[in-house]
Amino acid sequence: MAPSLFEKINTLISANMHAIVDRALEANSVQVMDEYIRQVERNLEALEDSAATVGGTVKTLKRKYEEFAAAAEKLDRDIDTLIVKGKDDLAAAAQAELNTKQQLSQEYYQQWQDQETQYNKMLDMRLKLESRLTSIKQEREHLRALIELAEAKKVTTKTIKSLDDLSNVGDAEITSLTDRIRNSLDREDARLEMATKNLSDSVEEAVRGSEVERQLDERKRRLLSGAAGGGDQSSSSSSSS
């Protein structure tokens, strides 16, 4: 995803919804909120297109990694067979090919992990943006009703700059609706904070898990290689006797 799209989406997600509502209230119009909604919808569509592209790349890289890993594993077994049969030249050529395949396999694995992390981040951003869109649409209707109510009750909305101002006009119905909007915005901000923390923890855990699996795989290969080497030495000793 282009950095500019990342920046736009982060700006939309982190936008202060209280400030958006206050600007709409100051203008005595929901057009400010309508513009925010249009921006979210445009960027949401662009994000979904980018996520689909990255998701396809993740699948391709995973398949490539698995293909090279399987080929390297087979070649590794073939090298043992060639050595046992005394075909050292072929074994050397196969070892060189194995080194290349293992390197490519590791590169594909790293690219796969990096792209998957990116993909998961994009999916999380999409969820957050969709949540923002749903919330702002709901509050748009509430604010529209509030503006109409204030006009009907002859409140001088031109002098009102924020929800705090409206909640102090002395009308119970207006105050109640104002508090409802404010509380809803607070809940949305809290949900966004929780979602951001959960994503960070999940990504860190996934990265740690991948590293541990890689270390265990390397350890298993080393142990199996050592066991095979010990077996060969024992066979040689028996032959000498």
239 in a structural domain:
no
238 in a structural domain:
no
129 in a structural domain:
no
Cβ 127 vs Cβ 195: under 8 Å? yes
Q: What is the pLDDT of residue 56?
A: 93
User: How far apart, in whole angstroms, are the C-alpha atoms of residue 140 and residue 11?
Assistant: 19
If one counts the domains in the chain, the total is 1
Taking only the tens place, the pLDDT of each residue in 157-187 is 545 556 666 566 556 666 666 676 666 666 6
User: How far apart, in whole angstroms, are the C-alpha atoms of residue 17 and residue 136?
Assistant: 8
Which value, to the nearest 10 degrees, does the dihedral of the CA atoms of residues 18, 22, 25, 26 take? -170
Taking only the tens place, the pLDDT of each residue in 127-144 is 889 988 888 888 888 888
What is the domain extent for residue 97?
3-11+18-123+135-230
The dihedral built from the CA positions of residue 231, 237, 240 and 241, taken in this order, carries a sign that is negative
128 in a structural domain:
no
130 in a structural domain:
no
Q: What is the pLDDT of residue 83?
A: 86
pTM score over 0.75: no
